Chain A
């Protein structure tokens, strides 16, 4: 998983049907110093807001955020916000 900061959002009407109703968050990946220039698009089901520090899961981890279980192969998600981080030591 990666730690990231929510920076904004993407809106699209022409898209894969199973992205319908999904919020696409723009998340800048962090290194130990803070947000880097690399930005990923992650599906957000936790309604994170701009500025929130979050954890992003990839691949089957992302699919489990949306629909946990074995038969979620065709869930269209390769990155999803799995946690909104409260604090960091």
Chain B
């Protein structure tokens, strides 16, 4: 799993039918420096990262929120649980939001 910032939504009308009713978000993974900044620790200047992962979301995360994204079986297991009755784990997805972050913190390593 990774933790990242929701950058926006992804819509598509032409798609595999089992994906009907699933929302997709664009999530940018947090790097260590992003996490240090979010924890109020000194960090290098932000480097624009162009990494984006499209993930399925049934928890209702919105842009600007931090989310935990799972991959593979865990993503489908997460969907099955949150969207019971769906055809999961037969969903053709490999990444899904499994938690919306309330708080995250990284600490300074003393043995630096």
Chain A positions within 8 Å of B, measured between CB atoms, are 5, 7-19, 24, 26, 28, 35-42, 50-51, 59-60, 62-63, 73-79
B106 at the interface (CB under 8 A from A): yes
CB of A75, distance to nearest CB on chain B (Å): 7
A12, B107: Cβ atoms closer than 8 Å: no
B74/A9 in contact, CB under 8 A: no
A40 CB contacts on chain B under 8 angstroms: 1-2
- B106 near A74 (CB under 8 angstroms)? no
Residues on A with C-beta less than 8 A from B39 are: 8
Q: Hey, which bits of chain B sit against chain A, CB under 8 A? A: 1-3, 30-33, 35, 39, 59-60, 68, 70-75, 77-78, 80-82, 89, 98-107, 109-111
What are 18 A-B contacts with C-beta separation under 8 Å?
A8-B104, A8-B106, A8-B107, A16-B99, A17-B81, A18-B77, A18-B81, A26-B3, A26-B106, A36-B32, A37-B31, A38-B31, A41-B1, A41-B3, A74-B73, A76-B70, A76-B77, A79-B1
Q: Which chain A residue shows the least CB distance to B49?
A: A37
Taking CB atoms, residues of chain A closer than 8 Å to B111 are 51
Q: A11-B103, A76-B74 are in contact. Are A41 and B68 (CB under 8 A)?
A: yes
CB closest residue in chain B, given A8:
B106
- A contact residues around B72 at 8 Å (CB): 59, 78
Q: How many A-B residue pairs have CB under 8 A?
A: 117
Closest A residue to B67 by beta carbon equals A12
With A26-B3, A26-B106, A39-B2 as given contacts, are A15 and B77 in contact (CB-CB < 8 Å)? no
Closest Cβ neighbor of B61 among chain A residues:
A14
B1 A11 Cβ-Cβ under 8 A: no
Cβ 8 A contact of A7, one of B89, B99, B106: B106
Establish whether residues A12 and B32, one from each chain, have CB atoms under 8 Å apart when the complex forms.
Answer: no
In the bound complex, CA of A37 to CA of B74 (Å):
24
